[in-house]
Amino acid sequence: MLCAAVKKEYGQHFLRDPNILEVIGRLAELGPDDVVLEIGPGQGVLTRYLAERVASVHAVEIDRALEPALSGLPANVDLVFGDALRVELPQDATKLVANLPYNVATPLVVESLDGLPNIRLWCVMVQREVAERFFAQPGTKEYGAVSVLVQLAAERTGSHAVSRTVFRPPPNVDSALVAFRRVNLPADYRRVKEIVTAAFSHRRKTLPNSLALAGITTREGAEDALAAIGRAPQTRAEALAPQEFVALTEALK
């Protein structure tokens, strides 16, 4: 396989251990009818594995220097070079399976929750702390906006700790695979997303102050909405469970 120099600005850590592929395949519940979106195929190790097991693969790679390493991919792979946060991603994808670049993993997952409505299952390799953040519980230091948004859109189906030695070069942080399946989004998910983002934008402030600073409502309006869901005006964002944000959004109407 041709090798390309690793670019730190892209958060590149290429898979080098084929044994991890079987774990990914199991957690991703791959089937012959799946249309998989892979972001950051790197040198194509996972891409080729997926292509043998699913109907088609959409691979999006930002680094043009990897084009030689990605030559000769199977016919059912559609390779696009570009920034996955900027290019139009395929709407027919039913699963997102990827060793996500660490520097963009969180925004890619969050934007896919409502931006790619046909995806029904995610299986992503991310930093272990990011995986923990996805399904963190209220009141913990890991709990934040991404925790709320992921848990409103999906339920975790599996996880697997990953050794640093499966990558080239080895990262300086621990990694994990995490898989989760879509559930029905709240009816007003985009508005909920706006309120959740605003609520956690000032973690040390109370919710009324955070929402007022973001222009969502007045401080008094936020206090009234909190009272309507049985919460005190001194409540901070990390105290609310995901479904309470849905109720808060309704109360703010």
SS3 11: coil
Residues contacting residue 81 through CB under 8 Å, at least 6 positions apart: 60, 61, 62, 63, 64, 67
Boundary of a domain, candidates 140, 157, 182: 182
- The residue from 165, 182, 199 where one domain ends is 182
Strands (E), 91-213: 95-99, 121-127, 154-162, 167-168, 175-182
Is position 107 within any domain? Answer: yes
Q: Phi/psi of residue 137, each to 5°?
A: -95, 150
Say how far residue 124 (Cα) sits from the centre of its chain.
8
Mean pLDDT score of the chain, rounded to an integer? 93
- Domain presence at residue 16: yes
138/197 same-domain check? no
Domain identity same for 159 and 197 = no
Does residue 175 share a domain with residue 58?
yes
Read off the pTM: 0.91
Whole domain around residue 197: which residue ranges? 189-252
Report the percentage of the chain scoring pLDDT > 90: 84
30 and 91 fall within a common domain: yes
Q: Last residue of a domain, which of 122, 151, 182?
A: 182
Pairwise CA distance, residues 199 & 211, whole Å: 6
Residue 226 lies in a domain: yes
**SS3 assignment, position 123:** strand
Given a cut of 60, whether residue 7 has pLDDT beyond it is no
Are 98 and 65 within one domain? yes
Q: Considering its fold, how many domains does the chain have in total? A: 2
Per-residue pLDDT tens over the stretch 174-212: 899 999 999 999 999 999 999 999 999 998 899 999 999
Strands 56-61 and 35-39: parallel
Name every residue whose Cβ is closer than 8 Å to that of residue 64 and which is 6 or more positions away in sequence. Answer: 81
Q: What are phi and psi of 22, to 5 degrees?
A: -65, -35
> Do both 33 and 77 map to the same domain?
yes
Residues in the chain: 253
Q: Quickly count: other Cβ atoms within 10 Å of residue 168's Cβ.
A: 15
CATH number at residue 66: 3.40.50.150
Amino acid at 64: R
CATH of the domain at 210: 1.10.8.100
